Amino acid sequence: MNSILYGVTAVLLLISWMRDRERTVKALMKAWKAFENILPQILIVLLLVGVLLTMLDAETIVMIIGDSSGVFGVIAAAVVGSITLIPGFVAFPTASLLLSAGAGYMQIAAFISTLMMVGIVTFPVERAYFSRSLTLYRNAFAFLFSFLVAFVIAWVEAQS
Amino acid sequence: MRALIHKYSVLVFLLAVLVGYSLFDQVFTSSVIDLALVQLKELLLVVPPVFILLGLLDVWVPKATLSRWMGTGSGMTGGLLAFLVGSAAAGPLYGAFPVASVFMKKGVSFTNVLIFIGAWSTTKLPMLLFEISSLGPRFALTRLLIDIPGIIIIAVLLNRIIPEAEKVDMYQRAEKR
């Protein structure tokens, strides 16, 4: 996947360079500025995620959402998903592990959905680009919506 | 230089606390640093092309073009386009914010910016195959099917709730970035 992304970027960059060098340099400067702007906040996010994942290892997560059934487990899963930020390629295998360790589909769906849509550690970054109220509302809606996702997935998985 | 120190002050403070804490619990600190470094590697692998594409978009695509495709009058097509661009994305959610900012600068409507962010956050197509192989097609496809209307409804709701003045302010700040 990364190679496609790099390939497309390289081709476009080359075309841009051949058509107008000055503009390409300007584009790269803008890219760097945008990156440099967000970098300090991102590094803080990475550190906080490191702290969270150290405290919330797979065993702890199973303890929270594994045996506990019903709505409490779903709420716990949604809260854990909201505060953690794990890249998808780690999250999906982890979720599959949690499933085989005894977590229910409803809990796992709530966890996956909030993990992707709700960002508590990235709140300051999101607020800087948009606004406080938009960030609050977006995350609140995404949190609530994740329960719907959890119920539907649990229902679909129960049909088999 | 002073601005630079100011920008990184919180980070330096956090690192100092972490190093100080290692006197009590070395395992904790080294685990935190390890996990942060793994994610940093992921970040450096995926994020540079995203930002270069953002830069190219900024200098090559005129505001009129993007505003015609995804602006206020673009209707369903604009929403669909915003959804597809967001779903094709790679990288973590925080990568979506700078791109959304360039979209705002280029006159993409507020609802479509929100659809883009929603799609980037949760219906990334590159991740779909991975989700299918880990959690099964039934799980992944159900989630995708319910997320599509969910993203649109949340975007429309947010567009209604946020006051016009606040949107204007966000667009003006995006302009300066």
User: Does A120 map to a domain?
Assistant: yes
Q: Does the beta-carbon distance from A122 to B93 stay under 8 Å? A: yes
Q: Are residues B98 and B134 in the same domain?
A: yes
**What does the pLDDT profile of chain B (177 residues) look like in tens digits?**
777 788 888 889 999 999 999 888 889 999 999 988 988 887 888 888 989 999 999 999 999 999 999 999 899 999 999 999 999 887 788 889 999 999 999 999 999 999 999 999 999 887 888 899 889 999 999 999 999 999 999 999 999 999 999 999 999 999 987
Q: How far from A44 is each of B24, B132, B177, CA to CA, in Å?
A: 22, 32, 21
Residue A49 has which token pair? 């995620």
Task: Take residue B92 and report the two structure tokens written for it.
Answer: 């973590």
Q: Is residue B119 part of a domain?
A: yes
Residue A148 belongs to domain spanning:
56-158
In a domain, B23, yes or no: yes
> Residue B149 falls within a domain, yes or no?
yes
Q: Cα B22 to the chain's mean position, in Å? A: 33
Q: Is residue B72 part of a domain?
A: yes
Residue in B closest to A13 by C-alpha: B56
Same domain, B77 and B4: no
pLDDT digits (tens, 9 = 90+) for A141-156: 999 999 999 999 999 9
The verdict on a CB contact (< 8 Å) between A129 and B100 is yes
Q: Which of B81, B87, B82 is nearest to B126 (CA)?
A: B87
Residues B121, B65 share a domain = yes
What ipTM does the predicted assembly reach?
0.88
> Is residue B77 located within the same domain as residue B27?
no
Scanning the structure block, which residue is given the tokens 């390890």?
B34
Same domain (yes/no): B161, B75 = yes
Asked if B109 and A138 touch (Cβ cutoff 8 Å), the reply is: no
- Say how far apart CA B106 and CA B81 lie, in whole Å: 15
Judging contacts by C-beta atoms under 8 Å, the chain B residues touching residue A130 are: 97, 100, 170
Together in a domain, B122 and B94: yes
Residues B131 and B168 in one domain: yes
Q: Which of B76, B166, B78, B168 is nearest to B116 (CA)?
A: B78
User: Is the residue at A85 inside a domain?
Assistant: yes
How far apart (Å, rounded) are the C-alpha atoms in residues B105 and B37? 33
Query: Cβ A27–B58 below 8 Å, yes or no?
Result: yes
Shared domain for B108 and B135, answered yes or no, is yes
Is A35 inside a domain boundary? Answer: no
Number of structural domains in chain A: 1
Q: Is residue A29 situated within a structural domain?
A: no
Residue A48 maps to a domain: no
Asked if A149 and B100 come within 8 Å (Cβ–Cβ), the reply is no
Residues B92 and B136 in one domain: yes
Residues 57-96, chain A, touching B (beta carbon < 8 A): 85, 87-89, 92-93, 95-96
Please tell me the total count of domains within chain B.
2
In a domain, A1, yes or no: no
With b for 16 or more beta-carbon neighbours within 10 A and e for fewer, the A51-88 pattern comes to bbbbebeeeebeebbbebeeeebbbbbbbbbbbbbbbb
**Residues B36, B71 share a domain:** no
Q: What angle, 0 to 180 degrees and rounded to 10, lies between the N-to-C axes of helices A105-117 and A58-65?
A: 120
**Residue entry with tokens 């995350």:** A139
Task: Say whether both B143 and B84 belong to one domain.
Answer: yes
Both B11 and B85 in one domain: the answer is: no
State which residues form the domain around B10.
1-46
